[in-house]
Amino acid sequence: MRIREAKEDDLIKIEYMMQIVWETTFRHFVPQKQIKIMQAEMHHVVAYQEQIGQGHHFLVAEESNKILGFVTYYEIDKGLKISKLYIDSQSQSSGIGRKLIRKVICLAQEKDLGFIELNVNRYNKALYFYRKLGFYIKESQDIPYHEYFLYDYLMRYDISSQEKYSLL
């Protein structure tokens, strides 16, 4: 498996994967209508192209020309913000997410940045995954979104207090 920057033709593969992953991941704690709105606004090729134009970086984990997962991040003041981390449903719990996070940590270290932040839904089991990697809950956030709220934790990973990761 290798991790690389996403190319333009990867975006349609990412969109397809997201349709499946979102349905299986969020259907137990996010209303179906809200899932559809979020997919329509944020998880399609045009939205990804716009995000790239705004400075977001897409990294894909690939094996045998199949995208197994991806992470997106962008730079914020003195840190990086992970906006998406999703793994193909059949590849979850295989270490791909950990490798993608480690890659982002290495990139932050190379830029001499102090932290990485991300938002995670308070009911998402990924919360425990992030904690195992050294992220902690910085604050609870109730973010208005259309007629809904995103009930999130803002999580942070302090790079300065952690050992340097090698690139696997």
* Mean pLDDT of all residues belonging to the chain: 91
pLDDT for 29 equals: 85
Whole-model pTM?
Answer: 0.89
pLDDT for 162 equals: 57
pLDDT for 167 equals: 38
Whole-number Å distance between alpha carbons of 57 and 5: 7
Token pair in block for residue 123: 């009911």
pLDDT for 163 equals: 55
**Is the predicted pLDDT of residue 35 greater than 90, yes or no?**
no
**Is the predicted pLDDT of residue 56 greater than 50, yes or no?**
yes
Grade residue 23 by pLDDT with cuts at 50, 70 and 90.
confident
Superfamily per CATH, domain 2-158: Gcn5-related N-acetyltransferase (GNAT) (3.40.630.30)
Residue in the block written with tokens 């193909």: 88
Among residues 141, 104, 97, which one has the least CA distance to residue 119? 141
